[in-house]
Chain A
Amino acid sequence: MASTTETKQKKMLILKSADNDEFEIEESVGVQSETIKNLVEDGFTFVPLPNVYTKALIKIIDYLKKHANKTDSNDEEIKTFDKDFVNTTFDDLFELVSAANYLHISCLMNMLCQTIADRIKDKSPEAVRKIFHINCDYTPEEEAKIRKANAQAFEGQFDESLD
């Protein structure tokens, strides 16, 4: 019984995703997002998020819940959670990064950007193109020119593998 009265005392927020799904979360969890925090401070308890789809929102709520309960003892646990969190496809990562940016959750933003950057790191331009499915829009002449300029700048070694 005690627990139900406790939850009643806790302020709850309703988040609505772009797919019109509604999620109820504790205010203390939600305010980790600057965007939500601003709305809460203006007295809103119903927060429509037209830029965030359900799929990403579920993951982000997971993340927020985990990080809201951060204490000194579960540091390791959160690290493992974060590791799993970013261990996903590029599509998901970009979806999440856009959502995190919209929601202004800077720690999540940084973690996601770092993850994406880590996958570009030390790759050759060809590998980056393949990883992100980018079509090269240079003419062969332009490409040769830039290649030459780059070679003069730094002579680096690239990793040709695609993982």
Chain B
Amino acid sequence: MTTFLGDEEIRRLAAEHGTPLLVLDCETVRRQVRLLRAALPKVDFYYAVKALPHPAVLRTMQQQGVGFDLASSGEIEQVRRFYVNPRNTIHTHPIKKRNDIRDSLRFGCTTFVVDNRDELSKFVEFRHRVGLLLRVSFPNPDATVDLSRKFGCAPAETLDLLRVARQLGLHVKGLSFHVGSQSRTASMHAHAVHECARIIREYNRDGDTPLSTLDIGGGFPVDYCGTMPDIDAFCAPIREALTSLGGDIHVIAEPGRYLVAPAAISITSVMGKARRCDRPWYYLDDGVYGAYSGRIFDHANYPIRSLRPGPAVSSVLAGPTCDSIDIVHDDIALPALEIGDLVIGEMMGAYTISTSTEFNSLERCRVVVLHEDLTSDSVAHIA
């Protein structure tokens, strides 16, 4: 059962728009924003646009007063169309070309993340215009997606880098970290907050330009397979850890997955079937090169079901391309399906169509948007 859509409605949308289809529900986005705000009441959110840069999502975030975490010039162009106040954006890619910095400044985003000396030196020529966040690495073996291997400086070198920045005349206004995605507990978040609080206290003791911001990243988990705690329970250790920061530290976060994952479902059709090694194979009209790309890139295990009742047996779901890697699920309990049956992927808002391709010259799935608020004034800022 899809939380925002009944089975009859799913059939109706599939009949009306055809498949493959992604159904995006803005009311679910609004609910996720409310839930995360309740779980982290003193934290300002910057939506990680990369998770799902769909216009309806960006507009909804804007209406909800959520800022934007941008990581490329293309993402800047995406949000610019919605009159986003550049002051409510941060550029979080730790490694940038000179033109990425210029594009961001011309848009009006002046906050950047860095994590090493070479990156600091790129900002010297822009030093009077920018405020920097230094990204600290906290490796997290518990995370499905560990983001501390590719980016971030070691906690032990943080104070040195802060001093280098100061010598270069750069304003580092805070620290950031990203402990990775889909952890079962927030113990690593809490550990990172405590460590950053310690570094901030130490640096601020003798600094006339104190650190004033802590960016606690993202990684707030969603429940793909029924094993995750709810968000309020998950965030309890983070709330507790944040009390170790001084009250004048501005805390921000970059949620992506949590805000959009439950807000979309994929509707595909069985377009062929076979029996191989004594198991039924069903060929869908979308696969890992399309909306199910997160099966590969995001290591996500979406809840998948059919609308047909009946006894379930171990089956294989394959995608429509010619590539043998294009397997959506290689062992899923399904009733015997017929060609034309609908297969529903749940929780498919985050890192799904944002990483899909047009391999085999197959068109990307269409997107249908539900419950978008088109009445409120979306021009919250004059860009």
A interacts with B: no
